[in-house]
Amino acid sequence: MNAFLLGILSSLVTSALLLALSLLRASRPLWWLTAACSWFTGTGLRRVYRRQAAAEQNMSQDLARARWVKVMAGRGNILTREAFAPLWSGGLSPASIQILLPDPDIPRDSWLDRRSHDVARFDPGFTPDLLRDQVRANINYLAQAARAQRNIQLHSYNLPHTCRVIATDKVAYLTFYSDNAHGRNSPCLYARAPGLLYTIALQQFDTAWANSAPTLTTPHS
């Protein structure tokens, strides 16, 4: 029994060390070590990107192979960039695209306002209404894109801003937000199905989706 517990402990320590090395260097030679350890522990973790922006090239490749796509974001800027462009142009046509963005029209002291307050503490250019305005702009962009397609569902939520989830039927990109950095500067975990992290990513999304509301799909005039 002691040998069994020691084996479990050693595998967890190894996982922690490999994750730390990946965060410090985020170099490709370490990815195969992370993947091997992930397979042994069942976490499903395959890569760690030091900054979530560094994951966009690989993300576009995963989106091209997706049967469905789920996105929960704290602002949604990624949805207007190159990685997602083929989804809106019709170049890619997964069976469903579900998108969750914060509700910018909830009265004051919403979770969006709390996140805005956190960001303003380390970003002096962040005014109280800036995050709301950015979310509205992205909602309008997606509403316009959704007009030509029927497989896009856009919902809004008012929940704590804890993470960003971009998931397909095979992979998930998971970024945990902090209160002292923009999400784009936070590490991004790449997990494959099946695995613990992939399951957690889908649980995060599905919980938020169950507590969301459809967003009006007509841009403001």
Per domain, the residue ranges of the chain are: 42-214
pLDDT the model gives residue 147: 79
CA dihedral 142, 145, 148, 150 (to 10 degrees): -30
pLDDT the model gives residue 42: 57
Q: pLDDT digit string (tens) for 56-102?
A: 989 999 999 999 999 999 999 999 999 999 999 888 889 999 999 99
pLDDT the model gives residue 50: 87
Low-confidence ranges of the chain (pLDDT < 70): 1-42, 216-221
pLDDT the model gives residue 26: 47
CATH code, residues 42-214: 3.30.870.10
**Which residue type sits at 120?**
A
E strands in 12-110: 45-49, 68-72, 96-102
CA–CA dist 155, 137 (Å, integer): 15
pLDDT the model gives residue 192: 93
**Which residue type sits at 104?**
P
